[in-house]
């Protein structure tokens, strides 16, 4: 009789652990998958009439790095705009290659 009760308790605990652990693991894996992959899956538009900003040697130079595939718009644009709007700095956006970058927040 005690063995049946123990077996039922173990079965209930295992069912609870598997059910909620499985749901939690699925949610964790799904949310990380969305985090590490860029949201935009459409082809990037071509850049036309782009030019390098004029360099002023009397101003300090600031380079805002855009290299992580999960960079969000606020990670990049806030520092860029804060320096650029003062007009006291040479502000450049830099990246490890010349490919188009996305500034999309991950879904989730």
Spell out the per-residue pLDDT of the chain, length 108, in tens. Answer: 788 888 888 898 889 888 888 888 888 777 776 666 656 566 656 666 667 778 999 999 999 888 776 777 888 888 988 998 888 999 998 888 877 777 765 554
How big, in percent rounded to 5, are the helix, strand and coil portions of the chain?
45, 10, 45
Task: Tell me what pLDDT residue 46 has.
Answer: 63
The answer to whether the Cα torsion of 89, 90, 95, 98 is positive or negative is positive
Please report the beta strands in 51-100, taking only residues with DSSP state E, as ranges in sequence order.
Answer: 61-65, 90-94
Give the predicted TM-score (pTM) of the model. Answer: 0.49
């Amino acid at each position: 009789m005690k063995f049946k009760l123990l077996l039922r308790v173990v079965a209930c605990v295992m069912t609870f652990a598997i059910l909620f652990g499985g749901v939690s693991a699925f949610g964790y894996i799904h949310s990380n998958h969305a985090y590490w992959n860029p949201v935009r899956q459409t082809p990037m538009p071509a850049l036309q009439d782009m030019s390098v900003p004029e360099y002023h040697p009397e101003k300090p130079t600031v380079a805002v790095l855009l290299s992580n595939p999960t960079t969000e718009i606020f990670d990049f644009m806030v520092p860029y705009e804060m320096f650029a709007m003062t007009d006291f700095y040479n502000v450049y956006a830099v990246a490890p290659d010349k490919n188009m970058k996305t500034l999309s927040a991950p879904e989730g």
